[in-house]
Amino acid sequence: MTETIIIAEMNGGVVAPATAELVTAALALGGAPVLVVPCTDGASADAAGFAGVSRVIAAKSPVFSSYDAAAWAEAIDGIAPAGHVVALASSRSKDLAARLAARRGLPVVQDVVSIDGGQLTSPILSGKAMQTVAVDGAAVVTVRANVMAPAAAADADVSVVDASGDLKTAVLEVVARASARLDVAEANIIVSGGRGMGEPGNFRHLEALADTIGAAVGASRAAVDTWDEIPHSMQVGQTGKTVNPNLYIAVGISGAIQHLAGMRSSKYIVAINKDADAPIFKHADYGIVATWEEALPVLSDALAGMMS
Amino acid sequence: MPNIVVLVKQVPDTNAPVSISGGAVDFSGMKMVMSPYDEFALEAALRHKEAAGGEVTAVTLGGAGADKILKDAKAIGADHIVRLDHDGWADSNAVQGALAAAIRDLGAEVVYCGKSAADTGAGSTGPGLAEHLGWASASNVLALDFGADVTATVPAEGGDARLSVSLPAVFSCDKGDLKVRKPNVKGIMQAKKATVDVRAAQVGASSVRVVSCALPPAKPEGKTFHGGAAAADVARLLREEANVL
């Protein structure tokens, strides 16, 4: 039987939970799933088994200590069997997927949200349309987080294999973020503010809520363009980051097309806006028509009570 | 002096609504523009030229309609504009193969492109092209310094990494801190007179084909509350109904 390779999503040298969703995607593609864990220490693959995964390969190499697209693709290519390849549609893994696909002469299909009878569907035009494609032969496929049900954990045989690749870039330094808070691209919950926050200093209210519920803080383009204090790294939307969290709380954001493009696929959307006609409400699961000054303290208190 | 290429792509204006006709996106009447991230790539290419000399060639893969964005690139400061003539669908491998062949022909040492195109959102071209060429790549580039090697700032776990990248290399550019320049009157006049260097595209076979396009499934109507006090109800629903907290 052909095999389907799953590249484990790694975060801080640990197999990230979203890897369990990739197993479900691999089973939908067909082929016996083989989990490849890129690591510097084979122990990273311990307990990385999932129901349905036939075997686990710990691909051990110093190149996996920091990301270099060329070296990672070469190292994984060297040890992974032939077949479909599945990875998470995170920005790093999409980059790796493209590189690995080109290396193997395969096409890459990014940001897949459903797999049905060999056909793959992805959002295009910033989520304003869905495109379904059919693939002749093997492909490298990245899958959006939070769309596939996670496979259950299970025991698996782990074989540790030495992998190697040539680094084409060198890390000079990593400048730590000023805040310990998660980046919007990594977070499962995001609290975002728009120009409706009135002034950048009011983002501290969003930060306080975010810290209560373990969320990242994002912003609309209008907020980033208006206030120098709000950096582009926080921007969600067309020219910012595309996010797919479980919960997105939009405060004082009207919902311009370019913002919706970056967050409309969030699982649940809460909107707080004083304008009942704001377009964001059409996309919100829970809309609160009120000023943020009225609604945010109530929401923060209620959530703080629930989380304690 | 480096021979610099910037890849640009024509895409529908990102503010345009999308309609579907016969299982395909209806592009008729949609305003077409340079993909937004490509503007940052062009800016990066021009700054590289200003720092190190050389010339900037803007390259696109597309039909005659894509000449407009090449002229836009010319107006902003590209020295040469090249269109690889191709209409219709091609998968990632076919696109990257055609671009790699053209970049070899042009003798480029460094390629800039947007981190993803606004139509597909895939972000495959930069890293895939680099692999086809056997070059280094850095993606989601936020800032660049130009020396003998190029230093690129990219997001990494826990912060931003500064990478030293030896040329030849492909850089896929995010918005970052770059402020893009606007075309001046002289540039616009030159662009009007410029001719596009149209070349045959070496597009190989695609093993991916588009089956259909559709509008995204409509989201069930949400619940709307009035007044700040209702935020307490929403907090409860997030736990009890949505199950996300």
Domain ranges of chain A: 3-162, 189-307
Measured CA distances, B204 to A107, A135, B138 (Å): 12, 15, 26
Question: What is B3-220's CATH superfamily?
Answer: HUPs (3.40.50.620)
Q: What is the pLDDT along chain A (308 residues), one digit of tens a residue?
A: 699 999 999 998 999 999 999 999 999 999 999 999 999 999 999 888 999 999 999 999 999 999 999 999 999 999 999 999 999 999 999 999 999 999 999 999 999 999 998 899 999 998 889 999 999 999 999 999 989 999 999 988 899 999 999 999 999 999 887 677 888 988 889 999 999 999 999 999 999 999 999 999 999 999 999 999 999 889 999 888 889 899 999 999 999 988 998 999 899 999 999 999 999 999 999 999 999 999 999 999 999 998 87
Alpha carbon separation from A191 to A185, A216, A227, B134, B222 (Å, rounded): 12, 6, 18, 41, 19
A92: left (phi over 0), alpha (psi -120 to 50) or beta: alpha
Query: Chain B interface, mutation test: which of A171, A288, A293, A308, most B Cβ atoms within 10 Å?
Result: A288
Report the chain A residue with the minimal C-alpha distance to residue B89: A133
Q: In which order are the strands placed within the sheet that holds A169-176?
A: A169-176, B159-165, B150-156, B143-146
Provide the shortest C-alpha distance from residue B230 to chain A (in Å): 7
Among A31, A70, A76, smallest CA distance to A57 is for A76
A272/A291 Cα distance (integer angstroms): 7
Tokens 């640990």 belong to which residue?
A14
Closest Cβ opposite residue B239 in set A111, A285, A306? A306
Q: Residues 6 or more apart from A189 whose CB is under 8 A from it?
A: A210, A213, A214, A215, A216, A245, A246, A247, A248, A249, B244, B245
According to CATH, the topology of domain A189-307 is: Rossmann fold (3.40.50)
Strands B150-156 and B143-146: antiparallel
Region class of A286: left (phi > 0), else alpha (psi between -120 and 50), else beta:
beta
**Pairwise CB contact (< 8 Å): A73 & B131:** yes
The CATH number that domain A3-162 falls under is 3.40.50.620
CB distance B158 to A13 below 8 Å: no
Give the distance, in angstroms, between the CA of residue B196 and the centroid of all CA atoms in the same chain. Answer: 20
Find all residues with CB under 8 Å of B156, minimum gap 6, and list them: A66, A67, A171, A174
Same fold, A3-162 and A189-307: yes
Binding-face residues of B in 175-194 toward A, CB within 8 A: 175-177
Tokens of residue A89, six digits: 């549609």
Task: Judge contact between A33 and A4, C-beta under 8 A.
Answer: yes
Domain ranges (residues) in chain B = 3-220
